[in-house]
Amino acid sequence: MPGKAATCGRIVAIGGAEIRSGDLDVLGHFVACCGGHGARVVVLTAASREPAERNRDYAAAFRALGVEEVAFFHQEHREEASDAALLAAVDAADGVFFTGGSQLKLVSTIAGTPLEARLRARYFAGMTLGGTSAGASALSTVMIARGEGRVAARLAAVRMSPGLGFVPQAIIDQHFRERDRLGRLIAAVLCNPGMLGLGLDEGAAFVLDPVGCLSVVGRGTLTVVDGSALEATNVAAVPDQAPAAYAGVRLHALCAGWSYDLATREGCELAMAEFEREIGFDRLAAVHANDSKIPLGGMRDRHENIGEGHIGYAGFREIMRHPAFRDVPFLLEVPGIEGGGPDEENVNRLKAIREELGIPAPGPAAATPA
């Protein structure tokens, strides 16, 4: 399994019910981002009122996914977020996972503690963070602390507070379709139009890469509520119980295989659509493959080894996952592990991603245009 990019880690946010449904696909994406079967995972149950039950459930789930090194820690009180054994486990972990429960309980217990500081440092050093249900909501910048479903967009439907802020400029909601939470997410965005609302159905998840592009995985839908083009709203003038009026809110519904760029607020699929329109996938003969030393928009071409730059393994996974790229060869132009140009290690990294996705290598004829 390939290693991590030399940049901040990945975020895997899950809409909930992955244990109850018995569908571990989305949890498997978290494991893959952590490095696969040999990963060291820490599970934090601070959100839960039933930590022993969560420990049992996730021990079995991670064992079924081939992960043997899993440590569980519960934080009922803030002083427990300073525990030396907990901090040492986070230091050694490839990934940390927040279970469901109450996002307000989770954030009020660990925000501002040595645990939060250590999580932040490890995340920006490349560690993966994941969360399900309340654990997903807590990852956002502005958090829905409590709220109502099955109602129109109104202030009374939502109570907000700061989240942990690992997903920038976002408000994450979960159990979205199952509990009919569109109204409350729109209300949250109307109050914070600079934030992006992200509503995850049960069994759906997104993987956020270091470049700021999120990819949808699992079953179900990610609903995106974008208030950046909001033209007008009366949310500040109407009574809390009254429905709010608004114009200019954009909605997107994304399912597995679709991506979305948080920086530009455009789907990564738009680039694929433009390529198909202007050139055509039938004319795609090969991919010039390298990672990038320069972030998106840096306006310089500086190559990096596969997985060590700002595209990262998650970016290459999404490229290789797209049907247009499945049967074409990738031609490497990278510095090389010892600075000697394309080498076997970089080739093996791309092969490992193909194997992870279950995609056979293209045959010799694949480089010939149709």
Cα distances (angstroms) measured from residue 314 to each of 25, 42, 163, 259, 300 = 16, 21, 24, 11, 21
User: Is residue 154 a contact partner of residue 244, using CB atoms and an 8 Å limit?
Assistant: yes
* Radius of gyration for the alpha carbons in the chain, expressed in angstroms and rounded: 21
To the query of whether residue 74 is one of the catalytic residues in this protein, the response is no
Q: Is 339 helix (H, G, I), strand (E, B) or coil?
A: coil
Whole-number pLDDT of residue 325: 83
To the query of whether residue 37 is one of the catalytic residues in this protein, the response is no
To the query of whether residue 202 is one of the catalytic residues in this protein, the response is yes
Compute how many other C-beta atoms are within 10 angstroms of the C-beta atom of residue 245. 13
Closest among 183, 222, 230, 187 to 202, alpha carbons compared: 222
| The two structure tokens encoding residue 298 | 């840096």
Q: Which CATH number fits domain 269-367: 3.40.640.10, 3.40.50.720, 3.40.50.300, 3.20.20.150?
A: 3.20.20.150
Name the catalytic one among 18, 102, 202, 304. 202
Quote the CA–CA distance of 262 and 56 in Å, as a whole number: 35
Q: Which CATH number fits domain 11-261: 3.50.50.60, 1.10.1040.10, 3.40.50.2020, 3.40.50.880?
A: 3.40.50.880
Name the catalytic one among 29, 74, 140, 175. 175
* Residue type (1 letter), 202: E
Quote the CA–CA distance of 13 and 16 in Å, as a whole number: 9
Digitized pLDDT (tens) for each residue of the chain, 370 residues in all: 334 333 579 999 999 999 988 889 999 999 999 999 899 999 999 999 999 999 999 999 999 999 989 999 999 999 999 999 999 999 999 999 999 999 999 999 999 999 999 999 999 899 999 999 999 999 999 999 999 899 999 999 899 999 999 998 899 999 999 999 999 999 999 999 989 999 999 999 999 988 788 999 999 999 999 998 999 999 999 999 999 999 999 999 999 989 998 877 776 666 677 778 889 888 999 989 998 877 554 557 889 888 887 677 767 876 787 778 878 888 998 898 877 777 888 898 888 888 877 787 765 544 333 3
Cα distances (angstroms) measured from residue 173 to each of 14, 97, 143, 296, 315 = 10, 17, 8, 27, 24
- Dihedral angle sign, alpha carbons of residues 269, 272, 276, 277: positive
Whole-number pLDDT of residue 129: 98
At 34, which helix (H) or strand (E)? helix 25-34
DSSP per-residue letters across 333-349: ----TTSSSS-HHHHHH
| The two structure tokens encoding residue 177 | 């379709």
Quote the CA–CA distance of 162 and 138 in Å, as a whole number: 9
User: Is residue 39 a contact partner of residue 62, using CB atoms and an 8 Å limit?
Assistant: no
Note every long-range contact of 330-333, with CB atoms under 8 Å and residues 24 or more positions apart, other chains counting: 330/286, 330/287, 330/289, 331/286, 331/287, 331/288, 331/289, 332/289, 332/290, 332/306, 333/288, 333/289, 333/290, 333/303
Closest among 155, 107, 96 to 130, alpha carbons compared: 96
Name the catalytic one among 18, 29, 74, 133. 133
Closest among 140, 127, 105 to 41, alpha carbons compared: 127
Whole-number pLDDT of residue 298: 53
Whole-number pLDDT of residue 364: 52
Q: Where are the domains of the chain?
A: 11-261, 269-367
Going by their DSSP bridges, the two strands 40-44 and 69-73 should be labelled as parallel
**Counts for the chain of helices (H) and strands (E), in that order:** 11, 20
Residue with token string 């009922």:
76
Whole-number pLDDT of residue 277: 82
DSSP 3-state percent helix, strand, coil across the chain (nearest 5): 35, 25, 45
User: Is residue 76 a contact partner of residue 109, using CB atoms and an 8 Å limit?
Assistant: yes
